Structure formats: C-alpha cells, structure tokens
Structure 1
Amino acid sequence: MRPNTASTGSPRTRQPRRPLRVAATSPSRLLRTGQSGRCRGCGHRIDWHPRADQRPIALHPAELATAHVPASCRWHLSSGIALPHGDGSAWCRIPHAVLCPHRTPTAPAGPHIQALRRQLAVRTRRLIDTGAFTPTPAAACGSPAGTTGRPTRPVVQLLLGRYLAETPIEDIRCVAQTRQRHRCPQPVLAPHTPQGAWTLLPTSPQRGQLALPAALMAVYDLSRLPYTEQLRWRTQRCPAHAATPGAADLALAGWQIFDPLQHTEHIHTRLPHPTPGRPGKA
C-alpha cells in the first residue's frame, strides 16, 4: 500500500487533462471535443456530425422536445453518426440551419421554434454590439469570386471524383490535432509539394448524375498528382500530419460531393486570374 504523505504545497484544484483517443470501432475518426464550432452567420455554437454518407451536418447543440420539432427536422445520433428523423424518444436534435437567424426560413415552424430563433437573434445582436462577433458578409458565404476571380468555394477534382470545397484553395486548413491539442494551423496547399492546376472541364462527367447542357467549368485539377498526394488532400492534412496517420482529427474535412444540379451557383465558366505570391498554378 502506498503511504499517505502530507502535501507541503498548495492544494491541487485543477483536474488533470485526460488524453482523448479514437475508438477503433468508431465510424468516424473525429474526436468528440473537436466537433464543436461557430456559425459564421450568427456566431452561435454548432456541433458537426457526419451523416451515413459521410457528409457533415451542423446540429444545434441542445436537444429539443420532439413534439415541438417538425418531423422533417428531427435528427438523432447513433455511434456518432447523425441520422434523420427521431429515434422514438421524447427528445431530438435539430439542424442549426432551421434556427439560424442569419438564414431565411424556408418552411413554416411552430411557436417554440420561432421563439428559439428570436432568442438566437437577440444573442447575435448582443455579440455584434459588443464586438465579440462579426458576421461573414453574404458575398463571402456564396460563390461570387473576389477581385482575382478565384471562387470562394472552388470545385476540386481528385481521386476520380469532384468535390466542393468550403473555402478558397489557399485557405483550406489541416484538420489534424497538434500536440498542444489545437487544430493544426498549416494549409493543405504546401509550397514544396506538387501543385494542382486550374483547367476547364465538362460540367457533368460523373457517373450517375443527370447531364447538363454542354458547357465547361473551372476546376482545380489534382488528378495528375500521385495517389498519396490526392489522398492527403481528400483527408485534408498538411504534409507533416499526412506522415503521421495516427494523429486524430480535430475537425471534419470540409468537402462536399459536387453535384452540378444542386451546386449550380458554384459553377464558373472562366479560369481565375493568377494571384502573385501564391503557390499553385492558375
């Protein structure tokens, strides 16, 4: 038995940090504490969870009574995966897009949902008035290109598929966790690695998608890079963390499968202008 010794220092009031690990049976490699974020439109907390098709969805962090939520807006979690509709319990989760005061509601909601939207709107106004939050301009949330003509949400071709990025190519950030348990600040577009190239490609070459009128669109093409480089981009990791596959992810990769019918506003028919001082080709 270890003897009890009197402590000569100050009492310990801070609990030690527990190392977080990813379970081998987990459908997602994402750490639970890494799923939280902030909405760029209203500044409120959101919880990111992968769906069954691996697409991320932002859910309101608190559970709501199922009776107050429309059936089409009910979600529940199972093994870290977000599934639509309720699981039969009296509580459910709701997508943040339904409550976000920065968005215009597309469907009528009940009085409880409207009251919660008003509460979030008041909090957003307080955050803005105190300078704690600056909403993202509408132009930055959509697809219009900036002064250089570069799309704010570019279409990228890699691993025999096309994906819609959540930020410009230069701003895509590594999702791995550092030793200090923060998200890696390094970009995926590293200066000393093979670069992709902007090119014009047919609009709908993917299998299983409806054909659109013959047209060309600007795509950041990574298909000529080695497989390991394409995989690094798909997993959204910097070169250093790509070499350490055991490191956990602290955020979801921000890719969406590109659909020319659903993402029409992100289709650009002209190549972007080159940006001086930026890595990569235009």
Structure 2
Amino acid sequence: MRPHSIPGCHWDGSPRTAPARRPLRVAATSPSRLLRAGQSGRCRHCGNRIDLYPRADGRPIALHPAELATAHAPASCHWHLSSGIAHPHGDGSAWCRIPHAVLCPQRTPLCRINPSLTSVRRQLAVRTRRLIDTGVFIPTAAPTSAAPDGPDRPLVRMLLGYYLADGPVEAIRCVAQTSHRTRCPRPVLAPDAPPGSWRLLPVGTQRGQLALSEQVTAVYDLSQLPHAEQRRWRIQRCPAHATTHGAADLALAGWQVFDPLLHAQHLRTGLPYPPAPGSKER
C-alpha cells in the first residue's frame, strides 16, 4: 500500500526545505571589487591552489590558502588580511598567511624555512605530481624570449603613468563576471575600439633620492586615447563591461606600476611592428 504524502513534505512527513540561493555581491564600501569566489586560482608553476589578494598599493599577491601557525613561519613571511587587503605583517594572532612562493615546490624559497614548512612543500610536490599524472595540470615552461607579435610583458603608457602588463597586449583579457558567473572571454584590445600605438619613448623616474638615467624603450602608448578609454584599459575591461557597474571582477587586473630597477629585463629597444608610413616617433 502506497503511503499518502503531504504536499511540501517528504514521504515520512518531514518538511521539504531547499536552501535559498544567495548571489554573490560586492559591498559598496569594499576596497576591492573582486568577488571572494574569484580570488582562487592555480599556480602556473606547480598547479596547486592559491588565493589572490590585492596589497595596499594595488599589486596582487598569491597566498597559500591555509593559515599556518606564526611560530612555524619566519617573521618576514607573515601576512594577514583586513577588508580584503593583504598586509605584509602579522595581526597579533597565533595564525598567519604566507606567500605561495615560499611553499611552491617548483621555485626556490624566498626565505629560510624550517622543517615544518619543508614538510608542507613536500606535500605540495606530491600533489603536483598527482595533478600531472592525472592530466589535470600541464606544466608550462617560462618564456625565454618575447612573443612573435610583441613583447611578452609590454610596457604600457596610460593615465599619465607607465604600467607593466602581465602578458602580450593582444592577450590581455577582461576581468569582469558574465551573467553565467564566469570570467569574460573577450580581450581588452577590442576590434571596434581605438587601439594604441607602439612608440619609442624615453623612460626614467626618480627612485627615492636616486636619479635614474632615462633610456629609450618600446612603449604601447594609450595616452592619445580619450580618458574613458585609458580608464577602461586600467580597470582591464572590454567595451561591453566598461560601463557595466553591476558586474564584479573575477580576477585581479594584471598591471604593475613600472619600476625601472625591478622591470629592466622587460624593456625593449626596438619596435615590435614597423612604424606606419608617414608616422613620426617621438
């Protein structure tokens, strides 16, 4: 005999409840527009999970996803989070976050590590091997030269400043979230938007009290574009998402403020493309 079921209940009479869906939102007072679900990624060297956070100066940093005891980590590797921003020191608690570069089994540690951190590195190395054996992660060799169409990390001029990109100009991808809650696949260099131009420009700056000599290098110049276009490049969004304020970011913008000492290896003295007929380089 089939038992009678009550509407909205299971066969045994227990209530049928479904968890309410809660869309992810970005608080208006948040220093970062990045969604918490979009901060996770995988290290391109070892394939292990990392958590990406912006620092106070806007630069991203990859942290190990788990907290570690402060007694097991060197003081120079202590990081803590406050309002979604990573700060390079402890917060007085017994736990801290440390950069993934310290534990990455495919990289040399940035500081002296103790046996506890060595054990964590060993565990990550075993996990990397499993990811490679199962085909989940395919290690990629670091590029040894510039891309055929341009520098691998070009220098870009916009908003009265110089920034170093994290990849070729053609490969810079929009960081906005789509309606399907995935990252937008469109490039920032849209075919229907005005492009920049490659120029040979003198690059130099003041670093503290040390005056650095200027040198001429290849720069992807966006300074001739309207301010709205330069800002679109700075926030790393395609034209469709440039004016969409409701769409959050699923990744950190890959720009780094140009430093002539730290980024000297990425400077190029020749243009990647021949100049257009009749054009004059400044």
Q: Same fold (TM over 0.5)?
A: yes
TM-score (ref. length: structure 1): 0.88
5+ residue gaps, structure 1: 275-282
- 2:222 counterpart residue number: 222
- 2:103 counterpart residue number: 99
Contact 2:8-2:16 at 8 Å conserved across structures = no
Distance in 1 (CA, whole Å) between partners of 2:232 and 2:251 is 15
Inter-CA distance 198–114: structure 2 relative to 1 (3 Å threshold): same
Which has the larger Rg? Answer: 2
- 1:247 counterpart residue number: 247
- 2:148 counterpart residue number: 147
- 2:191 counterpart residue number: 191
- 1:278 counterpart residue number: none
- 1:17 counterpart residue number: 21
- 1:109 counterpart residue number: 113
Is residue 73 of structure 1 aligned with residue 77 of structure 2? yes
What's the offset of the Cα at 1:227?
Answer: 0.3
- 2:7 counterpart residue number: 6
Choose 222-231 or 197-206, whichever is displaced more: 197-206
Choose 239-248 or 169-178, whichever is displaced more: 239-248
- 1:267 counterpart residue number: 267
Distance in 2 (CA, whole Å) between partners of 1:13 and 1:166 is 46
Distance in 2 (CA, whole Å) between partners of 1:14 and 1:56 is 38
What's the offset of the Cα at 1:153?
Answer: 1.0
Contact 2:205-2:212 at 8 Å conserved across structures = no
Inter-CA distance 263–13: structure 2 relative to 1 (3 Å threshold): farther
What's the offset of the Cα at 1:124?
Answer: 0.8
What's the offset of the Cα at 1:126?
Answer: 1.5
- 1:31 counterpart residue number: 35
Distance in 2 (CA, whole Å) between partners of 1:13 and 1:232 is 44
Equivalent residue letter for 2:75:
A
TM-score (ref. length: structure 2): 0.88
Contact 2:147-2:168 at 8 Å conserved across structures = no
> For each residue in 1:26-69, what CA deviation from the matched residue of structure 2 results, as whole angstroms up to 9, or x when unmatched?
11111111111111111111111111111111101000011000
- 2:60 counterpart residue number: 56
What's the offset of the Cα at 1:147?
Answer: 3.3
Is residue 236 of structure 1 aligned with residue 236 of structure 2? yes
- 1:277 counterpart residue number: none
Contact 2:206-2:212 at 8 Å conserved across structures = no
What's the offset of the Cα at 1:211?
Answer: 4.0
Distance in 2 (CA, whole Å) between partners of 1:268 and 1:41 is 26
Contact 2:34-2:250 at 8 Å conserved across structures = yes
Q: Secondary structure at the match of 1:58?
A: strand
> Could you tell me the percent identity over the aligned residues?
70
Inter-CA distance 94–21: structure 2 relative to 1 (3 Å threshold): same
> For each residue in 1:222-256, what CA deviation from the matched residue of structure 2 results, as whole angstroms up to 9, or x when unmatched?
01000000000000000000121221111111111
Equivalent residue letter for 2:88:
P
> For each residue in 1:60-118, what CA deviation from the matched residue of structure 2 results, as whole angstroms up to 9, or x when unmatched?
10000110000000000011111111111110000011111121124321111111111
CA RMSD of aligned residues (A): 2.3
Q: How many residues align?
A: 267
- 2:279 counterpart residue number: none
Equivalent residue letter for 1:128:
I
Give the 5 Å matches for 1:112-123: 112-123=116-127
